[in-house]
Structure formats: structure tokens, C-alpha cells
Amino acid sequence: MRFAEITDRVDLARKKQEFQANLIHELKTPLTAVSGFIEALEEENLSPEGKSYLAIIKRNTGRLNRLIEDLARLSELEEAGEKLEKERVNLAEIVQSVVKIYGPQAAKKGLTLKVNQEPLVTIEADPFLLEQLVINLVDNAIRYTEQGGITISLQNKNQGVEMEVADTGLGLAEEQLPRIFERFYVVDKSRSRKTGGTGLGLAIVKHIILLHQGKISVRSAPGAGTAFIVWLPEKQPE
């Protein structure tokens, strides 16, 4: 590849990041105003029909806010490159804190959320990004599981730590698996609208794992649930 082509690609990537940052900012500003008016209207004595309309506006505004937040997170990860705030981290502690947060949400759907683990080695990682990784996988599992539950398994493996997040959801067809980490790829659009998914959660997961020099694989089949298997190294390369 010629130097001019490399320069053009770098310039295009920079312009893309600048465009995303500006777009996110421009979308956030009016949404903040809309959210403020929604809160004000909730204090008003609206008719049942008015309350119904307001609930629809609030739900869709929340979904748009989530989409913008996910876009911002993905943009930050792409811009970060190989820059990580590294420290020694116990992944089991992060998983337990996420389970405490999402336990009530799982219970509300009648799902179990449990952890199977062995004493883990600490790994060199960015704790904030690892928490985001676990949150996205657990949130995704709860959203797309209607019966049964989610099990998170942790073990030491190959000079690192392996985490499996397995659910008892509908599962995925083999031809769908190669695309699930793509931006905005949605297996079932009607179901995604119902659950509030943005189509960016798994793309963020993949970026976080790549930043940590890790690996991710998926095991799934229709009617047999889905399992995401993540491996993270004990040490990051210098």
C-alpha cells in the first residue's frame, strides 16, 4: 500500500470520528430539553389518554438516549486505540457487582441470574471497560430470555480468565452468528423494538475484548439458548 493511500485512510478515519462526535453532541442537546419537558408534564394532571401518549414519548426518548450513549461509547473505544487504564483486576468482583445491579431486573421477568466460579487470578485490564463488557452481555441475555435464566461461569484458563455468559433464550441460527457483532445488526427487529435494544451492545463488547487482546466466541442453536465465551489474558503486552 502506498504512503498516500495510508494517509488518505487515516484522514478518513479522523473525519469519521469528528463527524460522530459532532452528531452525538447535536443529538444530545435537544433530547435533554425533551426529557426535561417530559418530567414537567408528568407533574401535570393529564387525562388518561394524555398519560398514555406521554408514556410512549418517554419510552422512545429513553431508547434514543440509550442509542446515543452506545454510539458515544463505541466512538470513544475506536478513538482510544490501544490506550487502556490498566490495573490488576479481579473479574469475579466485577461480575458480582453487575449481578447485584441486574438481579432485580432478571427476577422481574421470572429469570434466575447466577454465578459459578473458582478462585480467579487477577488480570491486567481497564476495570471500567470490563464492567461495561459484563453489563452488555448480561443486559443482552436478560433482554432476549423469557424463561429459565442466565448463568455466568468463570475459570482460569490458558494464562488468563475465561467467562461464559449463557442464557436459555430462543437461540440463534448458524447463519446469524457471523454478523451479531456488527453495528446495528438485529436478529429480530420487532423483538428488538420491544426490548429496547440498540444493535450496538455486542459491537461494544467486541471492541473492549480486542483492546484487551482477548477473544470471544459464541455457541448457540435455535431453541437451545446462547452462550458468549470470553477469554482475557492475565497480562497485557507492553
Task: Concatenate the DSSP letters of all residues of 80-139 into one string.
Answer: HTT----EEE-HHHHHHHHHHHHHHHHHHTT-EEEEEE-PPPPEEE-HHHHHHHHHHHHH
Q: Tell me how far apart the alpha carbons of residues 48 and 19 are, in angstroms, rounded to a whole number.
A: 42
> What 3-state DSSP class applies to 215?
strand
Q: How confident is the model over 29-82, as pLDDT tens digits?
A: 777 777 888 888 888 888 888 888 888 888 777 777 767 777 677 676 766 655
Q: How far apart are CA 20 and CA 170, in angstroms?
A: 34
At residue 3 the predicted structure's pLDDT band, cuts being 50, 70 and 90, is very low
Q: Which residues contact 143 (CB under 8 A, 6 or more apart)?
A: 195, 196, 197
Q: What is the pTM of this model?
A: 0.73
State the maximum Cα–Cα separation within the chain, in Å, rounded to a whole number: 67
Mean per-residue pLDDT, 131-135: 91
**Domains with residue ranges and CATH for the chain:** 3-80 (1.10.287), 87-233 (3.30.565.10)
